[in-house]
Amino acid sequence: MRLEDLPTPAAVVDLDRLERNAAAMVRRAHTLGVRLRPHVKTHKCIEAARLQIGDHFGGITVSTLAEVRAFAEAGFRDLTYAVPPAPARLARLAELAHGVERLNLLLDHPALVEPLAAAARAAQVTLGVFLKVDSGLHRAGLHPFDPQLEALAARLAATSHLEFRGLLTHAGQAYHCRSWEEVRQVARQEREVMVALAERLRGRGIEVREVSIGSTPTVVAAENLAGVSEIRPGNYLFFDAFQAALGSCTLADCAFTVLATVVGSYPQRRAAVIDAGALALSKDEGARQLDPEPSYGIPLPVDASGPLPHLRLTSLTQEHGLVTVAEGGATPSIGQRLRIVPNHSCLAAALFDRFWVVRGTSVLAEWRPVRGWE
């Protein structure tokens, strides 16, 4: 089968690029002297996760109970569930811990300590726990100087059926940066905040085994990770138009595209319509701080050999994408196929129940990602 044979819209994974991205991050982790615990939420595929772990210890990061279950059943033995758990899910998480050697959760509020410990006792398991730290994103986690942080860390370390693993953060504020130098500054801040906090807790007699950080931009930008034990990047395996705009990668590194067909061609108004809309690409507007003009992905030819600079994907409705054509450029014809590098590959990938894996334009395999939350 070839790309031309696939029904559209279709999710396409370029295996050559995927393998290069995986190997590059493995090498980077070795260079920085840290363990790689890749996040699998971008692709949610067993096959892709096996490529990600390389020769590292085999731990991965997940974001749903469905991922915990599926990856445990596939033989992954060390998982970090990197979302603050809802109270109603504690018993289920404790039961799922029977299927692995270690299941790590993260907490940032004392109200969950005893319910989590009770769930672990009832299931007769020990759960690893990371204290979630807000290193600047202001989404979840405790501020490094929150007065309850040290007490919470000490309580976790002293609670039976819980094993305090250490500190975890995600510097997602890097995605708001306007230059690569700003990303480097966020990466430095992420490390400095976490390493200083770990040393402060150790000075209070609290053992901090792990300092876990991670976002694709900050890991790519990091120059020094002394004091950090593990990194948890995820998007790097696919990359996307946002990462290319930010400077984390080049467009030639983007391994995930959406194959679409031109279903309307209007040369008189320099426009075309493709059959990939918001339900294939999401409505993520990408790095608007770097490019204020609306664009929902980067059009490529079917062989993904390079961008088509005269085409811009300017509007999406549910099943339609509107492509505008620069003056003097050729309007795509009906039936022509394009590959779109989405702004946010994590969201676009989540809209498909299968990925077509290719080398060049030859289809090699079909991967089925984990879907759902439970």
Q: Give me the pLDDT at residue 293, please.
A: 86
Judging by beta carbons within 10 Å of its beta carbon (0-12, 13-18, 19+), is residue 275 exposed, middle or buried? middle
Dig out the tokens for 42 from the structure.
Answer: 């971008």
Domain 15-238, what fold? TIM Barrel (3.20.20)
Q: Is the pLDDT of residue 8 over 90?
A: yes
Residue 197 tokens read as 């906090």
Q: What is the mean pLDDT of residues 67-91?
A: 97
Per-residue pLDDT tens digits for 198-245:
999 999 999 999 999 989 999 999 999 999 999 999 999 999 999 999
pLDDT-derived band at 171 (thresholds 50, 70, 90) equals very high
Residue 353 has φ and ψ, to the nearest 5°, of -95, 0
β-pairing, 362-367 with 355-359?
A: antiparallel
* Integer Cα distance of 128 and 134 in angstroms: 19
Residue 328 has pLDDT above 90, yes or no: yes
What pLDDT shows up at residue 244? Answer: 97
Would you state the pLDDT for residue 131?
Answer: 98
**Token digits of residue 28:** 């980077």
Q: What is the pLDDT confidence band of residue 33, given thresholds at 50, 70 and 90?
A: very high
CB contact at 8 A, 11 and 276: no
Split at pLDDT 50, 70, 90, the class of 5 is: very high
Residue 9 preceded by cis peptide, ω within 30: yes
The Cα 181–Cα 188 span in angstroms is 11
User: Cβ–Cβ contacts within 10 Å for residue 121, how many?
Assistant: 14
- The residue length of the chain stands at 374
Half-sphere exposure of 115 (CA within 13 A, CB side): 14
Confirm if 65 and 91 have CB atoms less than 8 A apart. Answer: no
Rounded to whole angstroms, the Cα distance separating 194 from 200 reads 10
- What confidence score (pLDDT) does residue 292 get? 85
Mean pLDDT, to the nearest integer, of 138-161? 97
Tell me the pLDDT tens digit for each residue of 248-295.
999 999 999 999 999 999 999 999 999 999 999 999 999 999 988 889
For residue 16, give the 3-state DSSP assignment.
Answer: helix
* 8 Å CB contact between 40 and 234: yes
pTM of this structure: 0.96
Q: pLDDT confidence of 57, banded at 50, 70, 90?
A: confident
Alpha-carbon torsion (359, 360, 362, 363), positive or negative: positive
**Could you tell me what percent of the chain has a pLDDT over 70?**
100
Cα dist. 147→54, 142, 153 in Å? 40, 9, 11
Helix ranges (DSSP H) in 159-275: 180-203, 216-221, 241-246
Predicted confidence band of residue 55 (pLDDT cuts 50, 70, 90): confident
Q: Are the CB atoms for 337 and 297 separated by under 8 Å?
A: no
> What secondary structure letter does DSSP report for 130?
E
Is domain 3-9+249-367 given the CATH code 2.40.37.20 in the classification? yes
Mean pLDDT, residues 350-371: 98
Structure tokens at 169: 């953060």
pLDDT of residue 221: 98
Q: Where are the domains of the chain?
A: 3-9+249-367, 15-238
